[in-house]
Every structure is written in C-alpha cells, then in structure tokens.
Amino acid sequence: MAKMEVKTSLLDNMIGVGDMVLLEPLSEDSFINNLKKRFDHSEIYTYIGSVVVSINPYRPLPIYSPEKVEEYRNRNFYELSPHIFALSDEAYRSLRDQDKDQCILITGESGAGKTEASKLVMSYVAAVCGKGAEVNQVKEQLLQSNPVLEAFGNAKTVRNDNSSRFGKYMDIEFDFKGDPLGGVISNYLLEKSRVVKQPRGERNFHIFYQILSGASEDLLNKLKLERDFSRYNYLSLDSARVNGVDDAVNFRTVRNAMQIVGFMDHETQSILEVVAAVLKLGNIEFKPESRVNGLDESKIKDKNELKEICELTGIDQSVLERAFSFRTVEAKQEKVSTTLNVAQAYYARDALAKNLYSRLFSWLVTRINESIKAQTKVRKKVMGVLDIYGFEIFEDNSFEQFIINYCNEKLQQIFIELTLKEEQEEYIREDIEWTHIEYFNNAIICDLIENNQTGILAMLDEECLRPGTVTDDTFLEKLNQVCATHQHFESRMSKCSRFLNDTSLPHSCFRIQHYAGKVMYQVEGFVDKNNDLLYRDLSQAMWKANHSLIKALFPEGNPAKINLKRPPTAGSQFKASVATLMKNLQTKNPNYIRCIKPNDKKAAHIFNEALVCHQVRYLGLLENVRVRRAGYAFRQPYELCLERYKMLCKQTWPHWRGPARAGVEVLFNELEIPEEEYSFGRSKIFIRNPRTLFKLEDLRKQRLEDLATLIQKIYRGWKCRTHFLLMKRSQIVIASWCRRYAQQKKYQRIKSSAIVVQSYIRGWKARKLLRELKHQKRCKEAATTIAAYWHGTQARRELKRLKEEARRKHAVAVIWAYWLGLKVRREYRKFFRANAGRKIYEFTLQKIMQKYFLEMKNKMPSLSPIDKNWPARPYLFLDSTHKELKRIFHLWRCKKYRDQFTDQQKLIYEEKLEASELFKDKKALYPASVGQPFHGAYLEISKNPKYKKLKDAVEEKIIIAEVVNKINRANGKCASRIFLLTKNNVLLADQKSGHIKSEVPLGDVTKVSMSSQNDGFFAVHLKEGSGAAGKGDFLFSSDHLIEMATKLYRTTLSQTKQKLNIEISDEFLVQFKQDKVCVKFIQGNQKNGNIPTCKRKNNRLLEVAVP
C-alpha cells in the first residue's frame, strides 16, 4: 500500500506567527517579541509575505540536510514552515516553468549571515536542478567560486569572522530545462584600504594568513615569505588567529577550488606571487634625507625587502626604487620630476599595495567569469544572487561607509518600488480594486547623494577636479553651502542655526538622516579615497615587470599609451556600477532575504532586543508589513483554501464536487463571515484582517478535535468488534481441536486392540505352519542321507578300480622309456666322443652372444642423434660387431628423429646443411650462425602499413626481406636499403618510402664474394652487359650474411639449374662501371663496435676494416 502524503501548511504547529503579515496586533514590540519567540525555539526564518527574514543562529542547525531539500522541492511557498529553501524553490520554479528571470536580494549588516544565505541558495539550486557530467561540472565550478572569492575578499571584523568586504552579484544562467549553463560575477567596491590598515580587533584579508599558515616550506621559499605573522607590517597581530578557523585547511580548500574552477598551475603561482609582493611591500620603510637645494627626499632604509619584491615581480630594482622616491608630472609637452618626502613615499607605497591587490581581485573575478561563463549561445534564463554589504553605522564612519550606505539606500528604494509593484500587479491580475498606499519614499535621500548638480558625490568629484588647494575641509565647506537647507543633511558649520549648538556633531563631520537612522561621517580622507590616485611612475614601473600578470594589471603604464586624462573617481565609478545594478534588478522578478544579527558577541542563544530593533528599523521591515497588509493581509488559492477549511461546512465535507471558488463561497456563507472581510479574485481568496484568518484557524482546530473524537469513536468500535470476532474464531478453533484430540485418542485405543488380536491369530497360524514344514523337512533329509551313503559306496569302488588300472599303465610306460634311453645311448656314444670340442665351443659362443645382446638391451643410449655415448666392448673378438651395431643404431635413431620433422623444418635443416657445406671451416662468421634459425622475412612487410606500397609492387613470394647497408661505390659510405629475394629477382628498395630502387633477375647474378673473417660484408657480382649491371656490382653489409648467401644460392640453383659461385677470400675484384676495383679486408679498431668500415683508397682499391 502506498504511503499517504500528509499535507501541511504554514499555519500548522506554528511557533509564534510564521508570516508577520498575520501578526495581530502589529507594533514594533509585538514584531520583536514574535522574532524572539521563534528564535528561542530555533525557528530562525520568518516570512513577511514573500520576503524571508533570517536571524543568524551562530551555530549549526539540522535544517539544511538533503532530506530537507527534498521536503521543500516543488512545494508551495506557504505549504511548509518558513525556510530559505522555500524562497529558493519558488524562485527556481518561476524561472524554469514561467520563464521569468529572477533575482534574490540578500541584505543585512555585517555578521547577519548574508554570505551563508547566498551559499544556501546556490547549494539548493544546485541540488534540485538537472544531473549529468557536464551539468555537475558547471554546478561544481559555480559553487567552488565562493571559496576563492571569500579568501581574497573576506576578512575578520569585530562583528563577523568571515565578513565580505566587497559586494558580489552573480547571474546564474540556465537553459530551457532549468539546467545551469554558467554564470557571471560582478564585484563592487572592494575595501582595499584594509590591505594597509585594519581597525583594532580585525584582520587583513584571509588569503594573507592562509598562505603563511598552509603553504609548504618549499612554496614559502619560492615566495620569499616566512611563517611568522609578526614579520609583516600589513598584518594585524592582536587578532591574527581566529577561534574555530584553520587557515592551513582553508588554504588547501582554496587551492583545490581554484583547480576546479579552472585556474592553471602557473596562474595560481602568479597570483600567490602578487599576494606575497603586496605583503612584503608593507615592510619597506623610508628615512628622510636632505638635498643640496634644501628639499627633503626619502630613501629606503633596508633594500633587502625591495630586492626580494623585485625578484618576485621581475622588476628592475633601480626602477622601483626611483618610483618610490620621485614623482613625474606631465602637462602637455612638459615633464616635471619632483622628489617625495617620507610621508609621500609611505603614501605611494600604500597606494601601490592597495591598487595591486584591488586590481588582482578584479582580475580574479574576470578570470573566474571566463571559466564559468556559458559555453553555448542559446537563449538563457537568469537567476541573480546579490550578496552586498549591509547598512553600516560605526563609531568612526568614513568614505567607505558613506558609499555602502548609499548603495543600501538604492536597494531600499527598489525594494519598496518592486514590492508595491508586485502587490499592484497581483491585485490587477486577480481583478481586486487597488488602493493607494502611503509609505516613506527615500528618493529624497538618494537624490541628496547622487544628484548630478547638487549631490554629495557630484560635489566631491568637483572638489577633486578643482585646481588649487583641495582638502577635506574645503569639501565640507562646499557641502555646508549647497546642502544646508536639505532636511536630511546636518552639519554644525552649515547656515542652518538649529545645529550650531549640537555638541554631538563635531565640526569636522556631517550627518545624514538615512532611512535606517542618522549616520555621522568624518570628512577626513574623503578627498584622497575618492581620488584613489596611483603615481604614474609606479604604474610604469609595474608595466615594465617581467611578470606577465602584473604587467597585465597596469596597462596604463605602457609609455606608448600614455593618457593625460584624469581617471574617474572612486565615487563616480561606484555610482555608475550601482546604476547598472539597479537597472539589472528592475528587469528581474525580485526575491528578498533580510538578514538580522541577534547579538554583537557572535554567540548562540543570545537575542539582544535593542540591537534587533535597530536593524528592524533600518531594514524597514515594519513598513514592509504595513505595505503588504494595507489592502488584504492574506491571500490563498481557492483549491488550497477549500482543502484546508472544507471540514467547517457540511456541504463541502468530505468532498466538494463543484468548482473550488463555488465551494469557498458556500463555505464562507455558511460561516457567516462579513463580506467586507474578504474578496474573491480570479484564482485566490483575499482576506482583509488577520483576525478573520485566525478565527478560521480556531474553528478548524475545534472541528479537527471533533473529527478526531469521531475518528477515535469509530476506531474504538472497530477495534472492539475486531477483538470480539477474533475471540469467537479462537473459541471455534479451540473447540474443534479438542474434539479432534478426543476422537484421535479413541481411535488409537481401538487400533491398539485390533493389532493385539491380529498378532495372536497370526502367531497361532505361523506356529501351525512351522510344525508342518519341520515334518516335511525331516522326511526329505532321511531320503537324502540314504542316497548319499549309497553313492559313496559306489564311488569308492570305482576309484579303487581306476587306481589299479593306472598303476599298471605307468609301469609299462616307465619300462618303455628306460628301454628307449638305453637304445639311444648305445647308438650315439661313438659320435659324441669325435665332436665334443666343437660342440662345446659353439655352445659357449652362443651363450656369450646371448649374454652380450641381453646386456646391450639394458645399456642402450638415448635416442638423441647428438648423444655420442655407447657401451664399452665386453670382448675383443666382438670389436667389428660392436662398431657395426653402433653404426646401425645411429642410422636408425637418425631416421626416427627425421620422421618427426614437418616440411618446414626439413626445409630449414636442408638450408642449414647447405650452409654447412658452403661455409664450414671457410668463413669465421659461420659458427655463430649455426644456432640462429633462418627466418627470412624479418620486416613482416604484409603486416606493416608503412610498406603497403612495396607489398603491392611485389607480386611474387618473398623469400628474404631484410634491411642491409648498401656500400656507396664512390666513397664507401653506407645507406640503408630493403633487400628482397623472390623466386626470380633480387630487389632493393628505399627503407623510408618503400620505393623500389633496383631489380636484378637471378639469371644475371654470377657470383657472391665475401671474406673469410668475422664480418657481414659481401659483394653480388652481375653478368656483364645485363641491364642491372649498368653501375656495376653491389656491395652490402648484413647481420644475416650466412642466411642470405645460402638462400640466394639455393634459389639460384632452383631457378637456373646452375650452382652460384661462392668465393671466400680476403681479396677479390668487383666491377664498378668500367673499372675493376680490388676489395681488400684488413684488421682495424672500429669506432662503431663490430660494424666493418669501408674506405676508398684510390680508383683501384677499396679497403674494408674489420674487427
């Protein structure tokens, strides 16, 4: 039986209120209390309509397992308790099924869990989308890009051990099936000032500590680093170690992630070299020196660090040293070089470190995008995930906090706009009347910051570009003049008199009333951070590096591409990036995750109400609730509403047969709910007040209790009836077994009695029969005894008669035998005396020969033809017989051995015999060839595709196919050739191409000449006047000379019926064209081992040096 699916709802087993839209009454206190109640029960997620509010638990919770993923997969958003997986599934299904591009906006302050939330979203999407090797590779690359970016872009702060110090927006691209194709990452405003200085209790970026902790000693030596953190000025020592964080393990994780994403080994090494260079830049220190003209300049104290940096980056040490000491200013056609004092040199050093790291991070993002981008050009669906820094209010707020809070103002603006737009679209889609909702529009704050004429960013850029003396104070003065009357701008130096006596506002600060609250900014550093200048001398020095990555990071340093135009400021760049981001978000369907930090101690189970209240205010969560419930607080599809509340009406319970909307109308009319409390849309029922929903829930709960009671009653009745029927069946079974047992006992008694009676009757009958049989047996035995005695008497009489007759016959035979013996002895006595010696000799000789042959039978040697053992001769007179017998036996066993040969073996031994007759005791090379079989086809031309052309050209059977060295007739040098012997021809072919060079009929071969020494050199003499003899005789050198000469001899004899002349001499003549040349063999030391070397002495002599 299939397991019945249990349908649940957001409203079931609810701790507090799962959706803040249903909170009643709605106030800030009730909002915070509801969050606290759920947090205390480990319910960290709460809804505000379709918005997910997430509270960081600061501990692992068992709610992200694969089972949870399957639980939320393809489920309605409000079907289960609030969870980030529900929002992720809703976004993914909308993208896949409705073809709507999605974006998930994750906001909150540092330490609220934004980064972890983005990871959970990506891991859920990766788990529910398609499978396959290629899809899994794309998913793995997208997921593994996070550890890389976290290592280079995250750091420990006082609020968060893994705080993102940059904004990240990732577009994940899907195909029409919903399978991921790739992604694109955009980064915003890396906090590069952290590279050179960190607040107390905070760390630099993770990668610096990971390299020093996790790199091997060999890698540290290559990077010229030491493991001690205290050796580096850019690293904060008071919080170098973080509890629960293993930098060494994280370094290995990052290296593995970079490999999965697609970084090559040399790229990874280059990245680590740049990081090491940045780390060592902080150790460069300067000392003041006075010049002759009275100007101050700076010099590097210890040049060892500079030398190691130059070795890492491939920069000329003198070039980098000058860049730290001088600054060149170009204006039109003029160049002015000025010296840098110590303060300016330190500024240049820090500016270089910040720019180098910032550009490296941007390059990393670009390189990751190249690896994870979609490879196909099909139409794509996009899901964007925005993980960006939350609203920041510190004790000291500077330019970075100003930019971050500006971004959050823009996000809040688009959040309100898109939320209202979504509400309005749903009302229009459901044909519900839309009423205008009053809310705070923070566009006035955005305009204060980004207005092109009077905005703070515009005035900051104007001050940075203005000629003359520009300081942070002049910038503040300009703000006081332009923004003094703005209701959200506060400054003690402005024209507005209401802030003149505000002691909480220092003179060097200004305050902006953001949507999240008032933030005071210290104007110090605004101009420098907005300028973000890097001296051109340093850019050009970096471009001159032999390090390919560093050279690519500073393209403006190329002297051929000098641009005198001032680069855009940091503020203008960020403003353009935010505008692009907002434009991108407005084209997608938004999904929101609002992250809240419960306490500043990063501890579990602590809920700081004041801190949470502050975050609820600046995130605008109460305002979001009011927007959602301004019209109707709750809406639900008719089918789900009817399924949940159908038990409250007799007409709809247990099954409603009509349309769902009609069923809901009947249900609400039956419950007498006022018509002003609800409205009917096209597909949903809209409920205005949460009290109405809770009333329905109370009625449903009471009805469920009644139904439960009814079910229990019916179940108990069924259980009792079932028990009674079981007892009744049991009683019948027991009674039947008892009756059967009694009958069995009675039957056993009757059966036993019958058996006893039967046994007595059978015994009586058996005894009667036995008496009769015994009487008959005694009668038979008496007759047999009498007959036996009579037969015995008769037999004894006959035996006695036969014995008497036999004695008489034996006596006659004995007498006759004695008589015959006497006659014979008398007859032959005279002959025995005359021939006794000869008879004895012949008899003795016969016995000796018999003994000899019997002994030879047992002493015969083995049947091997090469076994020369033979028994010793026993008698001298048998010498000739012994030798003849040995010869006959050897011939016989040779015949037996030959009979075992196949035709192929016979041919081989015939060739070996022929070679023995030709070369034995004549050629020194012969003994070494005896044990080597003659293969003939050494090249296997038929199997080698290289010689296919040669095989096709030779139609006859190939007898020999061997590579030989052909001796050049002019200079004695060797060239490799393929030597082919067929039934009718000798062919020479090129070893590389297989092209036939020469073809000589066997009839034109007259003689083969060779030396008597241990070499493979031989000459083939051709018939004068033949077509092949145009250039003269052939000289060859081969490792198989004996085999080649033997086969050539036998083949020539078979075809021409004439024996080929084999000349063995250390001097012989050969014909070269018209000249006869003497080939002479001499002894000499060989450079190439045992290979003979040829040297043409003159026109008449060719010397061959052999070992």
What are the residue numbers of the active site? 110-111, 115, 160, 163-164, 390, 392
C-alpha R_g of the chain: 58
Cβ contact 407:399 at 8 Å: no
HSE value, Cβ hemisphere, 13 Å, CA-based, for 165: 27
Torsion angle, CA of 1041/1042/1046/1052, rounded to 10 degrees? 20
Whole-angstrom distance, CA of residue 491 vs CA of residue 497: 10
Q: How far apart are CA 103 and CA 116, in angstroms?
A: 17
Q: Per-residue b/e over 950-984, b at no fewer than 16 CB within 10 Å?
A: bbeebeeebbbbbebbbbebeebebeebbbbbbee
CA gap 1079, 1064 in Å, rounded: 12
3-state secondary structure string across 191-227? CHHHHCCCCCCCCCEHHHHHHHHHCCHHHHHHHCCCC
Tell me how far apart the alpha carbons of residues 303 and 707 are, in angstroms, rounded to a whole number.
88
How many other CB atoms are there within 10 angstroms of residue 738's CB atom?
Answer: 10
Asked if 86 and 71 count as a contact pair (C-beta separation under 8 A), the reply is no
* Cα–Cα distance for residue pair 229/240, rounded to 1 Å: 8
Percent of the chain as helix, strand, coil, to the nearest 5: 50, 15, 30
**Largest Cα–Cα distance in the chain?**
187
Structure tokens at 395: 């004790």
Within 10 A of 193 (CB to CB), how many other CB atoms are there?
17
312 contacts 224 by C-beta, under 8 angstroms: yes
The rounded distance, in Å, linking the Cα atoms of 461 and 455 is: 10
Instruction: Determine the Cα–Cα distance for residues 151 and 255; give it in Å rounded to an integer.
Output: 10
* Strand bridging mode 634-637 / 684-687: antiparallel
Q: CA dihedral defined by 746, 751, 754, 758, rounded to 10 degrees?
A: -170
Taken in order 513, 518, 522, 528, the sign of the CA dihedral is negative
CA 622 to each of CA 21, 240, 618: distance values in angstroms, whole numbers, following the listed order: 10, 40, 10
Alpha-carbon distance values, 522 to 399, 513, 519, 570, 750 (Å)? 8, 15, 10, 18, 120
Helix pair angle (903-919, 1041-1056), 10° resolution: 100
- 970 residue type, one letter: A
Running DSSP on this structure, what letter comes out for residue 3? P
Q: Which one, of 1016, 1015, 1012, 982, lies nearest residue 999 by Cα?
A: 982
Written as one letter, the residue type at 428 is: I
Q: What is the rounded distance in angstroms from the CA atom of residue 605 to the CA atom of residue 42?
A: 9
Give the position of tokens 């040399």.
Answer: 266
Distance CA 611, CA 602 (A): 13
- 937, β-bridge pairs: 961
